[in-house]
């Protein structure tokens, strides 16, 4: 790769280009088991699983899947929270030659049916508590094998389903599939479907392995192989959790301390007991920890590095969290279509709060005009962020038109509006589709949200555009106040007015006890827009 402006930030130990071995993704587990057989791979409520044991279980699971007709190209759906069975299902499916279809356990039946039918999955591994959802949609799908996993042994007959443990007893007459890592798909990663029906990014074995090598090389100055304990509470069905927690732990021979959901007291107790060193999370997780009155009693100073992604990180929150914990939060950026990481603030160089940082090794990017997507813009100008690198998806599953729109001449068009400074640091201004046009002016929600977050009484805030007969759209904010705080709509509008141009100021503020969020903790702006539209109809 030719020298880019951001390469000047790289130190000598950070390569501009990475080398990716031509191997299937599951080989990283075999390597870790061979190198560190007795080292703890997974820790789950006190139960520890060594690397040799994890590899053996995944191999047995792969063998059992093959006996049930799973082969190269088959789709195996995984619908589980974070738990050891998730990791075994994921790697077992890959070893059998299958594509893993990630399903968010929070989805409702029509959404589950759509993903199963769109992917053509014939096998699913599902949590016992969620089995009724699968039962309900099964007659309208191609499902042949249903495997039920639980945190306790199955209590009785499972009605046309098999217990997870039965697949671990199957011996190891395993037949390694002949895979092409560059072409064969490892994961179908469904995007949120915010602009219509959910799409599946086709991530090849090479895409996912490349992104692991890229992130490893970028974080190498502060994170050593086998030395980390990774707090894995971000969901593994989410591309960020899959790469930056589960797969990163296995690639580096580290310990993954798993929790099935973000429960604040449980997270703090786990930090105190296990002393994790690395915490990939999202801003709402850091909000909760920062605002806990006794957070410092839980030994948070064991955490050296936090990687924040999935949503913009308010600057005030970043500073508060770092002051309380002594850790460093590096804000990064990624998307399902890029496996996911493309940018991150450097742990080895200048961090710029509010920025997503610089491109990671073997990644190129530029800002182009929104109208045509062909004209490269100068530093400081605002346009669409496009990226290129070995982590970029093969395309969307069974969606050639959407693939052609997203992938043009090797570049992935992200749909995010961004700007770049003179040193190559990128700043996400907003989603292209979230932009509000008020009186002909472009209003980016993040600008308004940053101001609201800076008020000492505000815990969370999100902004949307609502119809306005005069301005076209006007700005509405949804705000959650910190515990014990009181504030009027007028007072908060007056505060915002002192910090924002007139066209950006929120004209309506709705106070709420909580905001709708995804399982990852990302605030669902789309849901608030839908609610608002229904109220106005």
- List the CATH number of the domain containing 470: 3.30.300.30
Strand pairing report for 123-127 and 75-79 = parallel
Rounded to whole angstroms, the Cα distance separating 351 from 357 reads: 7
Rounded to whole angstroms, the Cα distance separating 460 from 454 reads: 10
Rounded to whole angstroms, the Cα distance separating 511 from 98 reads: 47
The pLDDT value given to residue 440: 65
The pLDDT value given to residue 197: 64
Helix (H, G, I), strand (E, B) or coil at 1: coil
- Smallest CA-to-CA distance from 237 within 162, 312, 130 is with 130
Phi/psi at 320 (5° precision): -60, -45
Tens digits of residue pLDDT in 347-356: 889 999 889 9
Give the mean model confidence (pLDDT) for residues 462-483: 89
Question: At 508, is the pLDDT very low, low, confident or very high (cuts 50, 70, 90)?
Answer: very high
Q: In terms of domains, do 404 and 386 share one? A: yes
Q: Is the pLDDT of residue 533 over 50?
A: yes
Q: In terms of domains, do 427 and 439 share one? A: no
Q: In terms of domains, do 9 and 45 share one? A: no
Please check whether residue 189 lies inside any domain of the structure.
Answer: no
The pLDDT value given to residue 155: 60
Query: What is the CATH classification number for the domain harbouring 423?
Result: 3.40.50.12780
Please check whether residue 266 lies inside any domain of the structure.
Answer: yes
Beta strand spans in 235-325 (E)? 255-258, 278-281, 305-308
The pLDDT value given to residue 195: 38
Percent of the chain predicted with pLDDT > 70: 96
Q: What is the DSSP letter of 227?
A: T
Question: At 157, is the pLDDT very low, low, confident or very high (cuts 50, 70, 90)?
Answer: low
The pLDDT value given to residue 198: 76
The pLDDT value given to residue 106: 82
Phi/psi at 70 (5° precision): -75, 130
- The count of structural domains within the chain is 3
Most confident of 162-176, 262-276, 306-320: 262-276
Q: In terms of domains, do 211 and 227 share one? A: yes
Question: At 196, is the pLDDT very low, low, confident or very high (cuts 50, 70, 90)?
Answer: very low
Helices and strands (H, E) in the chain, number of each type: 15, 27
Average pLDDT over the chain, rounded to an integer: 91
- Count of CB atoms situated within 10 Å of the CB of 126: 26
Percent of the chain predicted with pLDDT > 90: 70
Give the mean model confidence (pLDDT) for residues 502-510: 90
Q: Is the pLDDT of residue 194 over 60?
A: no
Q: In terms of domains, do 384 and 250 share one? A: yes
Rounded to whole angstroms, the Cα distance separating 117 from 141 reads: 6
Q: In terms of domains, do 176 and 245 share one? A: no
Q: Is the pLDDT of residue 272 over 70?
A: yes
Residues of the domain holding 469: 435-536
Please check whether residue 517 lies inside any domain of the structure.
Answer: yes
Secondary element (H or E) of residue 359: strand 358-359
Please check whether residue 366 lies inside any domain of the structure.
Answer: yes
Q: In terms of domains, do 478 and 413 share one? A: no
Rounded to whole angstroms, the Cα distance separating 421 from 221 reads: 25
DSSP letters along 365-388, please? EEEE-TTTS-SBPPTT--EEEEEE
- Rg, the chain, Cα only: 23
Provide the sign of the torsion angle of the four alpha carbons 411, 309, 48, 98, taken in this order: negative
Q: In terms of domains, do 391 and 454 share one? A: no
Tens digits of residue pLDDT in 77-123: 999 999 999 999 999 999 999 999 999 888 888 889 999 999 999 99
- Smallest CA-to-CA distance from 515 within 453, 433, 442 is with 453
Please check whether residue 112 lies inside any domain of the structure.
Answer: yes
Please check whether residue 195 lies inside any domain of the structure.
Answer: no
Q: In terms of domains, do 381 and 240 share one? A: yes
Q: In terms of domains, do 272 and 380 share one? A: yes
The pLDDT value given to residue 72: 98
Please check whether residue 194 lies inside any domain of the structure.
Answer: no
Q: In terms of domains, do 324 and 470 share one? A: no
Give the end of a domain, one of 180, 195, 227.
180
Q: In terms of domains, do 78 and 135 share one? A: yes
Helix (H, G, I), strand (E, B) or coil at 160: coil
Rounded to whole angstroms, the Cα distance separating 335 from 508 reads: 31
Give the end of a domain, one of 180, 214, 232.
180
Give the end of a domain, one of 145, 180, 215.
180
Please check whether residue 461 lies inside any domain of the structure.
Answer: yes
Q: What is the DSSP letter of 517?
A: B
Residues 6+ apart with CB under 8 A from 74: 96, 97, 98, 99, 122, 123
Q: In what order do the strands lie in the sheet with 458-468?
A: 458-468, 472-481, 508-511
Both tokens assigned to 291: 């605002």
């Amino acid at each position: 790769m030719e020298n880019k402006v951001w390469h000047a930030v790289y130190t000598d130990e950070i390569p501009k280009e990475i080398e990716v071995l031509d191997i299937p993704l599951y080989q990283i587990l075999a390597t870790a088991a061979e190198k560190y057989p007795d080292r703890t791979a997974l820790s789950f409520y006190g139960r520890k699983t060594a690397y040799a044991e994890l590899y053996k279980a995944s191999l047995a699971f792969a063998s059992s899947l093959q006996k049930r007709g799973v082969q190269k190209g088959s789709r195996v759906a995984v619908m589980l929270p974070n738990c050891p069975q998730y990791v075994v299902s994921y790697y077992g499916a890959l070893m059998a030659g299958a594509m893993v279809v990630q399903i968010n356990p929070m989805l409702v039946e029509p959404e589950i049916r759509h993903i199963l039918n769109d992917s053509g999955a014939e096998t699913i591994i599902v949590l016992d508590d969620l089995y009724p959802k699968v039962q309900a949609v099964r007659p309208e799908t191609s499902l042949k094998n249903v495997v039920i996993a639980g945190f306790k042994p199955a209590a009785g007959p499972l009605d046309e389903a098999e217990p997870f443990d039965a697949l671990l007893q199957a011996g190891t007459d395993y037949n390694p599939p002949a895979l092409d890592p560059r072409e064969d798909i490892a994961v179908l990663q469904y995007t949120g479907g915010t602009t219509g029906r959910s799409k599946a990014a086709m991530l090849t074995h090479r895409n996912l392995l490349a992104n692991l090598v890229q992130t490893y090389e970028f974080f190498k100055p502060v994170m050593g192989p086998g030395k980390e304990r990774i707090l894995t509470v971000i969901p593994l069905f989410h591309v960020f959790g899959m790469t930056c927690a589960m797969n990163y732990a296995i690639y580096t021979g580290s310990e993954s301390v798993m929790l099935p959901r973000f429960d604040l007291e449980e997270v703090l107790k786990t930090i105190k007991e296990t002393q994790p060193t690395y915490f990939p999370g999202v801003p709402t997780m850091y909000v909760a920890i920062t605002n806990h009155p006794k957070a410092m009693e839980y030994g948070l100073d064991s955490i050296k590095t936090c990687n924040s992604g999935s949503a913009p990180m308010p600057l005030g929150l970043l500073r508060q969290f770092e002051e309380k914990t002594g850790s460093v939060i590096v804000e990064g950026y990624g998307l399902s279509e890029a496996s996911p990481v493309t940018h991150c603030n450097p742990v080895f160089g200048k961090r710029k709060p509010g920025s997503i940082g610089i491109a990671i090794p073997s990644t190129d990017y530029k800002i182009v005009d929104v109208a045509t997507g062909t004209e490269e813009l100068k530093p400081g100008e605002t346009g669409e962020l496009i990226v290129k690198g070995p982590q970029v998806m093969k395309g969307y599953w069974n969606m050639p038109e959407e693939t052609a729109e997203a992938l043009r001449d090797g570049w992935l068009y992200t749909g995010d509006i961004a700007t770049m400074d003179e040193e190559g640091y990128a700043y996400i201004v907003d989603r292209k589709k979230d932009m509000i046009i008020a009186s002909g002016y472009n209003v980016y929600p993040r600008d308004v949200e940053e101001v609201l977050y800076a008020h000492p009484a505000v815990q969370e805030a999100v902004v949307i555009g609502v119809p306005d007969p005069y301005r076209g759209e006007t700005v509405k904010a949804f705000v959650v106040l910190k515990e014990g705080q009181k504030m009027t709509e007028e007072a908060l509008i007056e505060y915002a007015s002192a910090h924002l141009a007139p066209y950006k100021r929120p004209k309506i503020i709705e106070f709420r006890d909580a905001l709708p969020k995804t399982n990852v903790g990302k605030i669902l702006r789309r849901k608030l827009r839908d609610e608002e539209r229904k109220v106005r109809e």
